[in-house]
Amino acid sequence: MIKSNKMSASSQLPEGWASVTLGEITKNISIKNTDKKVEQVVSVTKHRGIVNSLDFFKKQVFSKELSTYKVIKREQFAYATIHLDEGSIGFLAEHDVAVLSPMYTVFEAKKTKVDTGFLFTVLKSDRLLNIYNNVGLGSINRRKSIPYSVFAKIEIPLPSLPEQQQIAEILSTVDEKLAVMDEQLAQTQELKKGLMERLMTKGIGHSVFHDSPIGRTPSSWSIVSIGKVMELINGKAFKPSEWENEGLPIIRIQNLNKLDAPFNYYSGIIESKYLVSKNDLLFAWSGTKGVSFGARVWKGDKAVLNQHIFRVVPDSEKLDSAFAYIILKQAQAEIETKAHGFKSSFVHVKKSDITKMTIALPPLPEQRQIAEILTTVDDKLQVLTDKKAQYQELKRGLMQQLLTGQRRVRVAEPVMA
């Protein structure tokens, strides 16, 4: 049970809490795998903590020579010495012992002073991430080093051990809920992937198929180029001098990623082809792979389109707009291979690279059926994504309150003999 906070009259710390350095509650560990007895290799990741290296990367990224690697034992911690400010820290839970690269720092909690789960939560908190960014040694971005000697000097507020354990238990309950949601999201995404593969190649209720230039498809489907069934209209090349503080919002690449990203505006006369309305289909032909590049359905209000983004206009007699979005999303990986600068994270394509692509096209009624099925799955994914975001926000709020003592947990009084 959570109760209201009661601050000590003599300090800003909650009553019963103390300010300690990480060096007081942890111990640096530096044991090399000199005898090569440990063969299980792990890595430290930003979001998943410590993972099996081969499972995570799907290939061997570590050295064949493991004698210089550091040994880490169950419930010991490790962090990436040059990426700690990004959250690359975790503790070993799946193995009794493993090894990891010398680039990592290994340490353990002094369990008479600090609970492992509580400590991990503190070390991953926003407050500590900001501190890591400030105390890192070196000036090169993403290469600031935090050796244990620096890490050990960081101060944190520390409640009693029983209160730590209660806080860790509360937050782990939220983590368990988030893990369930991650599993549901993964299952639903796998379901969508399987449905797309089947529906976009075999359709609904077909028994007669034939070989086509893009593989075996239902006989009633036609094979066309994308340019024959949809028009791609590039946005206007606005100059910074044309940006204003009022008028219609200008959709730029960053506005496709987040609706709350700041807009520039335009109040002048504009051709209708550059106007975008809610639920219009767009395609960012220049952007970051996996982030801003590719198909989007515009969820904002009326706006004008900036260059580097196509407004997609399907031929309504041949192509359903929802099915057009599915086509472009499915073709996105192939489109990326045609992009200039494909080997980098930022890419762009020519209009002809898209319009010349060949697709299998069902009759309009079947397009709408397929789109309805896949849209239902997308709606389920959105519900799960929104719920996950709510629980993440709940956890952030709880961490802010519980880790600072703004809200206290009720700790049972010790029973006297």
The pLDDT of residue 192 = 95
As annotated, the residues of the chain forming the CATH 3.90.220.20 domain(s) are 19-158, 222-361
Sheet holding 303-305, edge to edge: 264-266, 248-251, 303-305, 275-276
Amino acid at 271: E
The pLDDT of residue 222 = 95
The pLDDT of residue 337 = 81
More confident residue, 89 or 1: 89
Answer whether 0.75 is exceeded by the pTM: yes
More confident residue, 7 or 162: 162
What is the rounded average pLDDT of the residues 60-86? 91
Least confident of 163-167, 184-188, 284-288, 359-363: 284-288
**pLDDT band with cut points at 50, 70 and 90 for residue 139:** low
User: Does CATH number 3.90.220.20 belong to domain 222-361?
Assistant: yes
> Is 343's pLDDT higher than 60?
no
The pLDDT of residue 129 = 92
Per-residue three-class SS string for 197-266:
HHHHHHCCCCCCEEEECCEEEECCCEEEEHHHCEEEEECECCCHHHCECCCEEEECHHHHHCCCCCCEEE
The pLDDT of residue 101 = 93
pLDDT 10s digits, 265-284:
999 999 999 999 999 999 99
> Is 155's pLDDT higher than 70?
yes
How far apart, in Å, do the first and last CA atoms of the chain sit? 26
Amino acid at 401: Q
Question: Candidates 1.10.10, 3.30.420, 1.10.287, 1.10.3470; correct CATH number of 1-17+160-184+364-417?
Answer: 1.10.287
The pLDDT of residue 4 = 41
The pLDDT of residue 230 = 96
As annotated, the residues of the chain forming the CATH 1.10.287 domain(s) are 1-17+160-184+364-417
> Is 205's pLDDT higher than 90?
yes
Distance CA 238, CA 309 (A): 12
pLDDT 10s digits, 100-118:
999 999 999 999 999 999 9
Q: Which two tokens stand for residue 171?
A: 């937050």
> Is 356's pLDDT higher than 70?
yes
Mean pLDDT for all residues in the chain = 89
The pLDDT of residue 413 = 58
Can you give the C-alpha Rg of the chain in angstroms? 27
Domain 19-158: assigned CATH number: 3.90.220.20
What is the rounded average pLDDT of the residues 25-50? 93
The pLDDT of residue 304 = 96
For residue 137, give the DSSP letter.
B
